[in-house]
Structure 1
């Protein structure tokens, strides 16, 4: 089976799961909406799969499973500390010409947001803190072999079924392999989502990165549909969608890719 056919098969199977699994429970629409808030006071463990192709001269491909636990920690009556981790597990093939295949861990991005428990004026939700880049890559082609640090922040508003806002960070490298390129990158993620009364969420975002060293933009645009269901008493969000690379650097991904995911939620009892 070709990769194109395999990709379509995965999307079809996931669509069947989305349409046929679990019961509709409109009372959990608020829980589904919390997933649209990157710093909600909700423990969640997403597993997000992304597939992209068009890398290099040989139409290389990359599959990434991002493991992204979100853990809120209550500091006092007024403030939370939200830990957001992104650990990628990557399989890639010929992403830089005839470069072969690599499989393993990529570099970890660890963000910490200090956020007020109560929304601000007009219902504004915000959080700021540090972001760390950890060189956990298990292969030279899966990670930059650099330690990095910088600021991160998020601001958003939830009004009725709508959620909209922006998450951003900037990372500078400060240590690591001197033979590897320095890291000096800005990440911007504007997002917009709509959650229905029966816990469907339709979301649009970009995950744009500007590399100040190479002076290149990477701009994938993502459209996803997710549904909150229950497996027994365990709430789970299932997600599927498409992505389009509006801008990519030379040798980067091109055209369309896709995204699927499953998120386990652990609301407070």
Structure 2
């Protein structure tokens, strides 16, 4: 996606590239700024069915304060396109809404962000087959280290379990870990790897993808545009409906003020 985005911005008179601090913070999920992300996973092949699927995410993040404490609220809503058995074909609908709030802990280093807090998933799916039909809650922990202007890294770890919902649906008990690795090439261009490893504690199914991608950060006024594409391939998986390979691409926006 970044391959198409950069020339369009250049044609509009936007200078390509970004200041080093902006490039280093462009992928920080705990950055102290409002953000709006549009992210897409095109899944070329699912385990056991060989069907394709797609998941498009709207994500909004907003920092806020409670007294002297600093927090970040993030809301994520997917639009799922999935094969549906036994009728066949693909169905598209919004999925389950996820919210988390992270308490931002002062690490003593302004380049290192660390947050921990609760998360909640609501059964908002427009099609029952494309959601869990369960209310779930759990914890999220995020760390991001931008001490180096060239190499940034971190992780997002989460766990959630269902506590209410339809009795005839499988309970939710899922842990996920997403490592972040970003290497700045200069001029706002960077290499990236940010797969999500998921383990289902309810049925022992799991998905472990790996991949490497490229992105471009562009600053215009008080908005930072971040385009990227990252192909990912499964190196270990168990259970039906896991991605054998997928392409992760997005446009992330950060509003400096």
TM over 0.5, shorter chain? yes
Q: CA separation of 1:57/1:129 partners in 2, compared to 1, >3 Å: closer, same or farther?
A: closer
Instruction: Tell me whether 1:83 sits opposite 2:73 in the alignment.
Output: yes
**Distance in 2 between residues matched to 1:141 and 1:120, nearest whole Å:** 46
Distance (whole Å) between structure 1 residues aligned to residue 221 and residue 31 of structure 2: 24
Q: 3-state SS of the aligned residue for 1:31? A: helix
Aligned position for 1:246: 235
- The reply on whether 1:137 has 2:129 as its aligned counterpart is no
Query: What is the CA RMSD across the aligned residues, in angstroms?
Result: 2.4
Partner-residue secondary structure (3-state), 2:62: strand
Per the alignment, do residues 235 and 43 of structure 1 end up closer, same or farther by CA in structure 2, a change over 3 Å counting? same
Cα offset, 1:20, TM superposition: 6.1
Q: Deviations 1:75-104 (Å, cap 9, x if unpaired)? A: 345x3210112210112235x575322111
> 1:108 Cα shift?
1.6
How many equivalent residue pairs? Answer: 252
Deviation at residue 124 of structure 1 after TM alignment: 4.0
Distance 2:48 2:17 in 1: 48
Equivalent of 1:261 in 243, 250, 253? 250
Residue 120 of structure 1 is aligned with which of 108, 112, 117?
108
1:51·1:257 contact (CA, 8 Å) conserved in 2? yes
**2-side partners of 1:18 and 1:25: how far apart?**
10
Q: In 2 relative to 1, CA 207–99 (structure 1 residues): closer, same or farther, beyond 3 Å?
A: same
Distance 1:98 1:250 in 2: 21
The answer for the alignment partner of 2:16 in structure 1 is: 24
Can you give the 5+ residue segments of structure 1 that lack an aligned partner in the other structure? 1-10
Partner in structure 2 of residue 4 of structure 1: none
- Tell me, yes or no, if the aligned pair for 2:48 and 2:241 is still in contact at 8 Å: no
| TM-score, with length taken from structure 1 | 0.84
Query: What is the rounded CA distance, in whole Å, between the counterparts of 2:137 and 2:164 in structure 1?
Result: 10
* Map of 1:166 onto structure 2: 155
Q: Would the aligned equivalents of 1:52 and 1:253 in 2 still touch at CA under 8 Å? A: no
- The CA deviation string for residues 185-223 of structure 1, in whole angstroms up to 9 with x for no partner, is 111112111234422232112211111111111122242
The yes-or-no answer on 1:226 pairing with 2:215 is yes
> 1:77-116, aligned counterparts within 5 Å?
77=68, 79-94=69-84, 96=85, 99-116=88-105
**CA 1:222–1:76 in 2, change beyond 3 Å: closer, same or farther?**
farther
